[in-house]
Chains A and B, each alone.
Chain A
Amino acid sequence: MAEANARPRLEVHDVTKSFGAVAAVQGVSFPLHPGEAHALVGENGAGKSTIVKMLAGVHRPDTGTLRVDGVDVDFAGPADAKAAGIAVIYQEPTLFPDLSVAENIAIGNQPLTRLRQIDRREMTANAERLFQRLGVPLDPSRPARGLSIADQQLVEIAKALSAEARVLIMDEPTAALSAVEVERLFAVVRSLRDEGAAIMFISHRFEEITALCERVTIMRDGKHVATELVAELSVDDMIRRMVGRDLSALFPKQDVEPGEVVLEVEGLSREGVFKDISFSVRSGEIVALAGLVGAGRSEVMQAVFGVDPYDSGTVKVHGRRLRKGLPRAAMAAGMALVPEDRRQQGLVMELSIERNVTLPRARKLARLGLLFGGAEREAALTWTQKLQTKLGRLSDAVGTLSGGNQQKVVLAKWLATGPKLLIVDEPTRGIDVGTKAEVHRLMSSLAADGLAVVMVSSELPEVLGMADRIVVLREGRIAAQLTRAEATEESVMYAAMGQEVSV
């Protein structure tokens, strides 16, 4: 076997990385061999992107080492990783839109004339040579702005080639590509691999992994699960190892007889983002939107709430059609949205807890247009107590709370408006297990009180435990609608990844 006779080109050895209290990666090790494509798989949030960023020199591992050709390396920044021959192609290509394609390839390493000026002719010729080698007809002199994602990725690969990278890391390069484009990308990657480059490939699509990779490393919750030859694993094995964990009694959804229809979404489309989305939510029901990152889950709910526009379709609340693009109308109709990114969209970190809780209702609480402390404090107190938020004083800045308690403040903020429909986007991202259970208990009791809940979540166990119904999105379309009885980890994952269901 390759392991025995070849020294790995790059070795990740027992690395750990934490962000605040959240351990993103814990004790992960795997080798990348020259001439081999190595897949890295795991659920959303398993720590794959953190590994990529460590290899790229963006993050430094807290403990553990990276080895290139058997020598320990310590990357102080992306420039060091580049110098060590590691090229990274990110999920979102990182080109400079205003510069020409040739310049993008050559940046930082341009051929110079004797006067130390950039030799544009040589630079363009270089780019042309690279494109010829890759077999793509791109014009080196055009600006990178306006290139399709597929073409941008090819430019990134050309960049890696021009830097003579010996390790090529690709973070979900195929997420936004069509089948034809994927095939062409793979042809290029295979030829690089055959020339001796070590490839690391991250993808959620198993058919791509089996088509391209020899070896696979599976991660779960930041931990290393297994590194095996792809040929020795079936897709079922991989999925089981990715999601396999104790479901236990962490997700106590009470059974509720659903009431009248609260939200009705019909044929909602937005060009290039999602298409033909229809579903309904009844009071007392928790409906989960599941799917991979980039499947359009958050985008759909943002459009429903009126934050983003949509091109066609209707949104009805209690049978009344909602005007699009007006969050205020959505709020007036009884909707509340708890966004995914607390720091950016949900809270004003510098303001006090009470101010944050009462923000959406400030107008109602104000007398003669002025806010007095009393009413604010009272409202904030009621809700923070109901949600068992651990806090010092209500006048402390929200930024001083832990992630879980911040999330409770966001929930309190919206629950205080007395909504009929609550939309929560990744309600438990980045919070610890104990608080997670509390948030779940809370959502469940809210539903029992007749609230309709739409939950966008990447965490399968949460989706399976909490939801009465699951709408699985894939690439902007509804791939499946599953009832609680039909849903299993496998069926949701299969639908999200576009595989036929084998059960």
Chain B
Amino acid sequence: MTVTSDRPTPTDAPLGTPAPKRFAGLLKTRELGIVLALALLVAYTAIDNPRFLSGQSIRDNLLNTAILAVMATGQAIVVITRNIDLSVGSVLGISAFAVATMMSNNQDLPMIVALLAGLAIGAVAGLLNGVLVRYGKVPALVVTLGTLYIYRGITYSWAGGSQVNADELPGNFLTFANDSLLGIPWLVLIALVVIAAGSVMMRNYRIGRELYAIGSSPAAAELAGIKVARNLLSAFVISGALAGLAGVLYAARFGTVDAAAGNGYELNVVAAVVVGGVAVFGGSGSVWGAALGALLLTVIGSALAVLDINQFWQQAIVGALIILAICADRLVAFRIARSLRKRDAHV
């Protein structure tokens, strides 16, 4: 009989070696990468056509980004918790139609009421998503795909083919999109406030860090005594409320609202979040990264128009960017996993 009783040779790795430092560095540069891509794109386009840097062009780009960025902020928060909210396009639609109808029926309502109404409608829709995900124990992908159709269906049956036209809306509501404060359009200002608030919440407040923790390791979050249910509901309510807010901005910007408003937006939003460096498996990424993603996607669209490249290419480029972003995530994860396996080899 053979019994080998040699102790494994200790690895003797010095403890706390900063091996994964460069991974941390890499993660931090994810947002930097977007800024760089953006700068390159703008520089190239501007050389081709200097008018791309004109005040009007910049203003248009920012206005077009604002609505997407507001929604991307909410989506980033949900994706960080390892969930997804596909219903945001439909929430935008229902909120836009509801608020436009309300404003056209009550011409004297101040703008702030419209904004609050949009937030409230979205929050209710988001709460339903969150409750179904958490208490129905159904994956968010399925729940929000379902509510995507439900919310859109409600809007269609309510609108019944009718639309709210710009001439029915009160003047202060319509001019809101073009008015500015200190030269910055209200739409952009609101988007900036939302992004800043979202970033600060996720970075500096307990709820933010707990949302990261939940996405990083759901099982560990339960064991650590984090109130997972409450936090997840909050994430979905925030995402819904911001989509509702985006609905009001949409109505104000475009003036004409029908039941199809925001149809398919959810994919742009998810694309912005993923391109912006929020890991689809949760736990990492940032709100302002997602906002940068939204800006990059918008600028690509307008740059292609300026460069006179076929608009069809835009979709292909967005697709390539998404795949590139996910590849970067997987590469980092793979390298970390491999280094972990080597480091902890005890045989």
Closest to B12 in A: A180
Closest Cβ–Cβ distance, residue B9 to chain A (whole Å): 8
- 20 other contacts beyond A57-B225, A107-B209, A475-B346, with CB at 8 A cut-off? A77-B222, A90-B223, A96-B283, A99-B213, A107-B224, A117-B205, A118-B206, A139-B16, A143-B20, A146-B23, A146-B336, A148-B13, A148-B344, A151-B16, A178-B12, A180-B12, A272-B342, A275-B347, A486-B1, A499-B5
Q: Chain A residues near B340 (CB, 8 Å)? A: 146
Contact A103 B346 (CB under 8 A): no
Closest to A94 in B: B220
Within 8 A of A (CB), among B294-343: 336, 339-343
Within 8 A of A (CB), among B198-246: 200, 204-206, 209-210, 212-213, 215-217, 219-227
Contacts A146-B336, A148-B343 given; does A108 touch B16 at CB 8 Å = no
Contact B23 A78 (CB under 8 A): no
B2 interfacial by beta-carbon distance below 8 Å: yes
Within 8 A of A (CB), among B158-196: none
> Which residues does A use to contact B, with CB under 8 Å?
56-58, 77-83, 88, 90, 94-99, 103, 107-108, 110, 112, 116-118, 136-139, 142-143, 145-151, 154, 176-181, 271-275, 296, 475-483, 486, 491, 494-495, 498-501
Bound CA span A79–B210, Å: 14
Q: Chain B residues near A58 (CB, 8 Å)? A: 222-223
Q: Chain A residues near B47 (CB, 8 Å)? A: none
Contact A272 B347 (CB under 8 A): yes
Please tell me which one of the listed residues B2, B10, B20, B283 contacts residue A181 in the complex, with CB atoms under 8 A apart.
Answer: B10
Please tell me which one of the listed residues B13, B15, B209, B342 contacts residue A271 in the complex, with CB atoms under 8 A apart.
Answer: B342
B7 interfacial by beta-carbon distance below 8 Å: yes
Contacts A97-B283, A99-B212, A480-B3 given; does A150 touch B15 at CB 8 Å = yes
Contact A98 B284 (CB under 8 A): yes
Q: Chain A residues near B205 (CB, 8 Å)? A: 116-118
19 contacts between A and B (CB under 8 A): A79-B225, A83-B225, A98-B212, A99-B213, A116-B205, A118-B204, A118-B206, A137-B16, A142-B24, A145-B23, A148-B343, A148-B344, A178-B346, A272-B344, A273-B347, A477-B4, A479-B3, A479-B4, A501-B1
Contact A500 B5 (CB under 8 A): yes
Bound CA span A181–B346, Å: 12
Closest Cβ–Cβ distance, residue B325 to chain A (whole Å): 17
Contacts A98-B212, A272-B346, A475-B346 given; does A179 touch B20 at CB 8 Å = no
Closest Cβ–Cβ distance, residue B165 to chain A (whole Å): 45
Q: Chain A residues near B3 (CB, 8 Å)? A: 479-480, 494-495, 500-501
Q: Chain A residues near B345 (CB, 8 Å)? A: 271-272
Contact A98 B10 (CB under 8 A): no
B8 interfacial by beta-carbon distance below 8 Å: yes
Closest Cβ–Cβ distance, residue B2 to chain A (whole Å): 6
Closest Cβ–Cβ distance, residue A275 to chain B (whole Å): 4
Q: Chain B residues near A81 (CB, 8 Å)? A: 225
Bound CA span A178–B341, Å: 15
Closest Cβ–Cβ distance, residue B215 to chain A (whole Å): 8
> Which residues does B use to contact A, with CB under 8 Å?
1-5, 7-13, 15-16, 18-21, 23-24, 200, 204-206, 209-210, 212-213, 215-217, 219-227, 283-284, 336, 339-347
Closest to A176 in B: B346
Contact B209 A145 (CB under 8 A): no
Contact A477 B347 (CB under 8 A): yes
Bound CA span A436–B210, Å: 45
Bound CA span A180–B346, Å: 12
Contact B283 A143 (CB under 8 A): no
Contact A94 B219 (CB under 8 A): yes
Bound CA span A479–B3, Å: 6
Q: Chain A residues near B24 (CB, 8 Å)? A: 142-143
Bound CA span A476–B347, Å: 6
Contact B23 A178 (CB under 8 A): no
Please tell me which one of the listed residues B1, B23, B213, B346 contacts residue A476 in the complex, with CB atoms under 8 A apart.
Answer: B346
Contact B210 A107 (CB under 8 A): yes
Closest Cβ–Cβ distance, residue B268 to chain A (whole Å): 26
Closest Cβ–Cβ distance, residue B24 to chain A (whole Å): 6
Contacts A145-B20, A148-B13, A151-B15 given; does A95 touch B220 at CB 8 Å = yes
Bound CA span A491–B2, Å: 11
Give the residue among B24, B225, B340, B345 with the most A Cβ atoms within 10 A: B225
Contact A142 B21 (CB under 8 A): yes
Bound CA span A95–B216, Å: 9
Closest Cβ–Cβ distance, residue A345 to chain B (whole Å): 19
Bound CA span A116–B201, Å: 11
Which 4 pairs across A and B sit closest by C-beta, in order of nearness? Answer: A79-B225, A146-B20, A178-B10, A94-B220
Q: Chain A residues near B336 (CB, 8 Å)? A: 145-146
Bound CA span A116–B209, Å: 13
Contact B1 A480 (CB under 8 A): yes
Q: Chain A residues near B18 (CB, 8 Å)? A: 139, 142
Contact B2 A481 (CB under 8 A): yes
Bound CA span A56–B345, Å: 29
Bound CA span A97–B337, Å: 11
Contact A178 B283 (CB under 8 A): no
Closest to A270 in B: B347
Contact B1 A482 (CB under 8 A): yes
Q: Chain B residues near A96 (CB, 8 Å)? A: 212-213, 216-217, 220-221, 283
Bound CA span A203–B174, Å: 71
Contact B224 A78 (CB under 8 A): yes
Q: Chain A residues near B19 (CB, 8 Å)? A: 146
Closest to B340 in A: A146
Contact A78 B216 (CB under 8 A): no
Closest Cβ–Cβ distance, residue A126 to chain B (whole Å): 15
Closest Cβ–Cβ distance, residue B279 to chain A (whole Å): 8
Bound CA span A274–B344, Å: 13
Q: Chain A residues near B16 (CB, 8 Å)? A: 136-139, 142, 147, 151
